[in-house]
């Protein structure tokens, strides 16, 4: 989640509606400047007893952040606390209960992305070993209750934690008990954004199925393959979901801006502090009628902050965010950007993927989104094909798209190899969660704690 600092640079007032739309338009880039941003979260635990470390305890999250500065990471402070780090590999930040996130730098190719991932994981493991910490690659805490988890000292999280129970039953679980992998990608024009948004939104449930990795809650199977994905269905209906308007004629920057203006606010950031604006209207803010800042009008940074507070399956900022995947092991971190880059960064692949989904109705999208968290690859598309069958066809398109990019490493390998974990999943028909459930009912003998041995980085 975005980390703000008081020294964010020039921040002009929003003078007109064009300024809102301009944030999206400024994201347009020629194809040779398209980049790949990969974000991944993992759960932090104490090796001795598997508890989730607090920020302030000896050998806790603060100590982990301090430890990483030996690798050149620079601290970012809020209220006197280190709450993030910045460096050449992007930013390290904290999710509400101490989930540890790398928001990677924008990179040219997947070889660089995977090398970045490797550097980060090697660094956190080195510091973690000194502190007695481990790092778990799953989509949902397998054994922790909400009460078991600490809260990180970030002002925006205090506001969100108060607001979430007012608008849904599972928002606190989203904040405290989930982890994800996310890919951020560029577009060349408004029309290019629209096509990529539609394809990626339609196929986001396929990504959810392929990366489904959250079958346990508080030590027992929860009936889902991706419980993390299910949680979003009861978090906050004003800021989640499949966005039917994306598939309607006329969709573009302006329509997305209208959607965001209808999303209730969370906060305003002023003088290094977060002001609670939960439930208030950004439209009122534009008119100078925001009750918590009477007479004040928003700046561009307020709008970009607000854009980060909506949580649809695909999110538009000055780039597109793919948000459907559970957290997982090392190779899936590299596989997620490979999946989306292969589909969205080659024109022929994008056209082929659109042909697969362009006839899906809004009802199809909603049904598929609802079924996938439980059924995974057994879910069926509009023509009766299972998602296992669809996955095979979509991965073939992604493979061609990556091959066409011709981004080679020093050994002469292209980027297609990063899809291999997904090809294995589709060939077997078993998503990661199903393999964990097999272990749980098999040699784990119902002991979920065994997951720490087998799913740690």
Class level of CATH domain 21-263+310-454: alpha beta
Residue carrying the six token digits 């928003």: 298
Strands 180-185 and 36-46: antiparallel
d(C-alpha 69, C-alpha 75), whole Å: 7
* C-beta of residue 21 within 8 angstroms of C-beta of residue 157: no
Q: Determine the pLDDT at residue 383.
A: 87
d(C-alpha 390, C-alpha 274), whole Å: 45
The full set of domain ranges for the chain reads 21-263+310-454
Q: How many residues does the chain have?
A: 457
Q: Tokens in use for 229?
A: 């994905």
* Element of type H or E holding 157: helix 155-167
Closest by CA position to 450, among listed 438, 415, 195, 239: 438
Strands 311-312 and 74-78: unpaired
3-state helix, strand, coil in the chain (%, to 5): 45, 20, 35
Q: Around 76, how many Cα atoms within 13 Å sit in the side-chain half-sphere?
A: 20
Residue 437, exposed/middle/buried by CB under 10 A (0-12, 13-18, 19+)? Answer: middle
d(C-alpha 205, C-alpha 229), whole Å: 9
Q: Is 399 helix (H, G, I), strand (E, B) or coil?
A: helix
* C-beta of residue 111 within 8 angstroms of C-beta of residue 105: no
Closest by CA position to 109, among listed 311, 299, 342: 342
DSSP secondary structure string for all residues of 241-276 = E--GGGGSTT-SHHHHHHHHHHSPP-EEEETTEEEE
* C-beta of residue 190 within 8 angstroms of C-beta of residue 381: no
Q: Is 38 helix (H, G, I), strand (E, B) or coil?
A: strand
Residue carrying the six token digits 């925006």: 156
Which 8-state DSSP code applies to residue 314? E
For residue 348, CA distances in Å to 90, 209, 357, 399 come to 31, 24, 15, 12
Q: List per-block mean pLDDT (blocks of 10 residues) for the chain, which spans 457 residues.
A: 59 96 98 98 98 98 98 97 97 98 98 98 98 98 98 97 97 98 98 98 98 98 98 97 97 98 97 96 98 97 98 98 97 97 98 98 98 98 95 98 98 98 98 98 98 96
d(C-alpha 325, C-alpha 424), whole Å: 17
């Amino acid at each position: 989640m975005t980390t703000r600092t008081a020294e964010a640079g020039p921040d002009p007032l929003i003078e007109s509606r064009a300024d809102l739309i301009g944030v999206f338009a400024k994201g347009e880039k020629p194809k040779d400047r398209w980049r790949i941003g990969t974000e991944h979260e993992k759960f932090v635990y104490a090796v001795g007893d598997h508890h989730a470390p607090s920020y302030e305890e000896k050998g806790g999250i603060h100590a982990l952040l301090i430890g990483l500065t030996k690798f050149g990471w620079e601290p970012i402070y809020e209220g006197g606390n280190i709450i993030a780090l910045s460096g050449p590999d992007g930013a390290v930040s904290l999710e509400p209960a101490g989930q540890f996130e790398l928001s990677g730098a924008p990179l040219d190719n997947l070889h660089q992305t995977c090398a970045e991932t490797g550097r980060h994981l090697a660094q956190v493991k080195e510091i973690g070993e000194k502190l007695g910490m481990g790092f778990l690659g799953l989509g949902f805490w397998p054994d922790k209750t909400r009460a078991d988890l600490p809260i990180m000292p970030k002002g925006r999280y205090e506001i969100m934690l108060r607001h979430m129970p007012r608008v849904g039953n599972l928002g606190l679980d989203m904040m405290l008990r989930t982890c994800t992998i996310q890919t951020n990608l560029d577009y060349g024009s408004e029309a290019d954004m629209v096509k990529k948004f539609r394809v990626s939104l339609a196929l986001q449930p396929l990504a959810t199925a392929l990366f489904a990795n959250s079958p346990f809650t508080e030590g027992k199977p929860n009936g889902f393959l991706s419980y993390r994905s299910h949680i979003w269905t009861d978090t906050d209906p004003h800021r989640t979901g499949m966005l039917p308007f994306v598939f309607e004629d006329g969709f573009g920057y302006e329509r997305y801006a209208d959607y965001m203006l209808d999303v209730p606010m969370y906060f305003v950031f002023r003088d290094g502090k977060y002001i609670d604006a939960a439930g208030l209207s950004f439209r009122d803010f534009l008119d100078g009628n925001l009750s918590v800042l009477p007479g004040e009008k928003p700046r561009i940074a307020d709008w970009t902050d607000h854009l980060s507070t909506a949580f649809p399956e695909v999110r538009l900022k000055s780039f597109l965010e793919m948000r459907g995947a559970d957290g997982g092991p090392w190779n899936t971190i590299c596989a997620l950007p490979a999946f989306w880059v292969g589909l969205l960064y080659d024109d022929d692949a994008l056209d082929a993927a659109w042909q697969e989904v362009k006839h899906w109705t809004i009802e199809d999208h909603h049904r598929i989104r609802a079924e996938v968290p439980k059924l995974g690859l057994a879910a069926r598309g509009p023509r009766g094909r299972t998602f296992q069958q669809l996955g095979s066809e979509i991965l073939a398109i992604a493979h061609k798209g990556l091959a066409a990019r011709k981004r080679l490493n020093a050994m002469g390998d292209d980027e297609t190899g990063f899809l291999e974990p997904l090809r294995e999943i589709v060939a077997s028909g078993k998503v990661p969660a199903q393999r964990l459930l097999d272990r749980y009912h098999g040699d784990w003998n119902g002991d979920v704690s065994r997951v720490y041995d087998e799913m740690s980085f």
